Chains A and B, each alone.
Chain A
């Protein structure tokens, strides 16, 4: 009964989405107020219906209702409750329903929080959200219905894959989708602006918070995915330039560019048509990402759905959305001329450079991701693009961007003084020299790239602090004054500093962990000790161990530093029965200084055991850096100026007593 209710809710949502997509747009064009007013109500209604449908599916999972095909294929009575719930989105149909849910919730949020948007703009934005919703609802109802029944009802479900019962993997999709789908709001705003023929600073002030929020979520989503790969796949790697990873990274790159360019539109009323184009492209990349992952066209460690009809549907949807919006852009963009002029050396110039480099980087990643698919489709040749391509291209593009990162905020709008900016960055120069010095001393001439990374990390880190110091007049005014200024700094300024510090952490984490990592792969017998960087691992023994649903061979290692035992680590190889599979459970000791990572493989007492041991310095800084970046973004979101139009609660002066 409940799944049928869910199904009906989706059908109702489709009709409502059609209404939401058509009426407000016509209403805005013709000035029919009643039709425009339909939009917010329809958006909220749709969100409720889809939430209800999602709730029905969750109910089916929680009660292990195996008469629903989706539940039977992806769940199991013995699954812990947490994973039953997270399993709702751990499959194709369910994850699409999650996508749709987030889309409609964002639409409803725009309806709720956008009370102060001009009526026509709001109607158009919600109308376009509605149209996107129509596409996804149609996709779900016609090709990926999660509520399909299965008769006869099986006694047990098939979905007990232990790899999916993992917190990192379970929460990675919601964050990722909140990011991807959040960019739909920027897209809707952009298309609405094109239809209106007008982009003004107020538009940018409305678009930026939504984009920033989506960006924050996407950053967390990607970081979660990377961290999961690190601890689960057992090879200590955290980024493989895998097509599915790229599918989420490209919207992130474009989204970062968008967040920065929206500032220029807001403050200086220029770069408008570029910003609109970027908003369209970012969401298009999100849709492309969805298509790539779900159509079976990619061969990767994570590929999911492999049904060609679904692929064709999404491709058609993608063509309509992207093609339509780009066509609209081509027609309407010339009307969006800005009035701001700026010198190349200015804050606008720096932000433009930021965008340019990010755009080229995105295009390069896109090329590497799509080329194998295109070639296969055209010639049947099977080709793959090695990770080295991406590294070779990405690093030279990011280097000037990261170098400019410290200088940009110090340049004035319209015409900046580079000399003054560089003077303010004197401490950063010193930091770079120190970093280079440390690097050279530790490296003995090994890697230029490592020196570059260290220099950039120090430059950005100290440079951001210099900019902050300048704002609060650190060292040039009394402490009390600086403190007062710091407290009065707009949250957006804090957000920028924190986010950029996060970037510095990320750069340093990547550089240090990649350059100075020590990996040892060998066969060890019980009692043997092996040196891995500054620590030693002693194998105490390997013994069988029994878990709740698996048996394992567990190795016990003692880790010694300077002769003292600092830790015991127990990596294992697990064998599950249901479904039969083997997994490697790495033992990791995380720490801001260095991670210890141990993996045990095949072997026996006589021949010894194959082991892989790592000492990974500062690798946690990668994810910590991403979290700090997100925190910076969140700080920016809470800036007072984003709550425009909310009437300040004024303390009314007491009425004069007559």
Chain B
């Protein structure tokens, strides 16, 4: 085969390989995008059931109930709240009145079943998405380090 043809073949092979790689990447990408929603998004039916997503907000004071390895709590962005159930050990920084982000999906009964509860190693835990959601709900007044004043529904 002439050198020119060999090179053409090589280039075509490369392009084909690259095409396969790119389609693999994009498919995997689409399947694994996880959106973040606030409890208000959930309440206003902007979220599909059965699809995995992240929910974040504050852990409502007095809502945490532990039963062995199963913990029930309520996530709120001060306008709306969603009940969450998680089976397993919670991260250290999980606390009432603190921010939390949970990964999972919405069950038929409207309760969010979490497969993962996320924490960050900072005692002033407030992930940007949660802060954003709280600000959107219009109920949150930013006071750095002063979480005792945050009460839902006021």
Contact = CB atoms under 8 A, between A and B. Distances in A.
Interface residues of A, number: 44
B127 A392 contact: no
A301 B21 contact: no
A141 B52 CA distance: 45
Interface string A318-355: 00000000000000000000000000100000000000
Interface stretch (A379-387, A542-550, A643-651): A379-387
Contact of A344 (B10, B18, B21, B32): B10
Interface stretch (B23-31, B72-80, B104-112): B23-31
Contact of B123 (A384, A522, A579, A608): A579
Interface string B47-74: 0000010100000000000101100000
A396 B22 CA distance: 12
Given A599-B89, A612-B89, A522 B35 contact: no
Nearest to B3: A341
Interface in A382-416: 382-386, 388-389, 392-393, 396-397
Contact of A601 (B28, B35, B89): B89
Interface residues of B, number: 32
B68 A610 contact: yes
A163 B54 contact: no
Contact of B120 (A234, A301, A523): A301
Contacts of A302: 121
Contact of B31 (A163, A389, A584): A389
Contacts of A163: 121
Contacts of A522: 69
A364 interface: yes
Given A382-B36, A607-B68, A610-B69, A397 B29 contact: no
Nearest to B52: A386
B29 A383 contact: no
A558 interface: no
Nearest to A164: B121
A581 B123 contact: yes
B10 A368 contact: no
A432 B68 CA distance: 45
Contacts of A608: 68
A65 B121 CA distance: 26
B92 interface: yes
A386 B29 CA distance: 9
B68 A393 contact: no
Given A344-B10, A384-B54, A392 B92 contact: no
B89 A385 contact: no
A580 B147 CA distance: 14
A234 B66 CA distance: 20
Given A523-B69, A581-B123, A602-B66, A383 B36 contact: yes
Given A344-B10, A382-B35, A382-B132, A360 B21 contact: yes
Contacts of A601: 89-90
Contacts of A581: 92-93, 123
Contacts of B66: 602
A573 B93 CA distance: 12
Contact of A367 (B10, B25, B34, B52): B25
A33 B97 CA distance: 67
Interface in A276-317: 296, 299-303
B88 A521 contact: yes
B33 interface: yes
Nearest to A392: B28
A299 B128 contact: yes
B12 to A, nearest CB: 13
B96 interface: no
A610 B90 CA distance: 10
Given A581-B92, A610-B68, A396 B32 contact: no
B31 to A, nearest CB: 7
A583 interface: yes
Interface in A572-606: 573, 579-584, 599, 601-602
A393 B69 contact: no
A156 B24 CA distance: 55
B18 A386 contact: no
Nearest to A375: B33
Interface in B120-138: 120-121, 123, 127-129, 132
A371 interface: yes
A611 to B, nearest CB: 8
A87 to B, nearest CB: 16
A337 to B, nearest CB: 16
Contacts of A607: 68
A367 B132 CA distance: 24
B128 to A, nearest CB: 5
B28 to A, nearest CB: 4
Contacts of A385: 29, 32-34
A550 to B, nearest CB: 13
A166 B153 CA distance: 41
A68 B152 CA distance: 40
Interface of B: 10, 14, 18, 21, 24-25, 28-29, 31-36, 52, 54, 66, 68-69, 88-90, 92-93, 119-121, 123, 127-129, 132
7 contacts: A302-B121, A303-B120, A364-B21, A384-B34, A386-B32, A389-B28, A608-B68
Q: Nearest 7 A-B pairs (CB), nearest first?
A: A389-B32, A382-B36, A392-B28, A386-B32, A601-B89, A582-B92, A382-B129
Given A301-B121, A580-B123, 7 more contacts: A360-B18, A367-B25, A367-B29, A383-B35, A384-B34, A384-B36, A522-B69
Interface of A: 163, 234, 296, 299-303, 344, 356, 360, 364, 367-368, 371, 381-386, 388-389, 392-393, 396-397, 521-523, 573, 579-584, 599, 601-602, 607-608, 610, 612
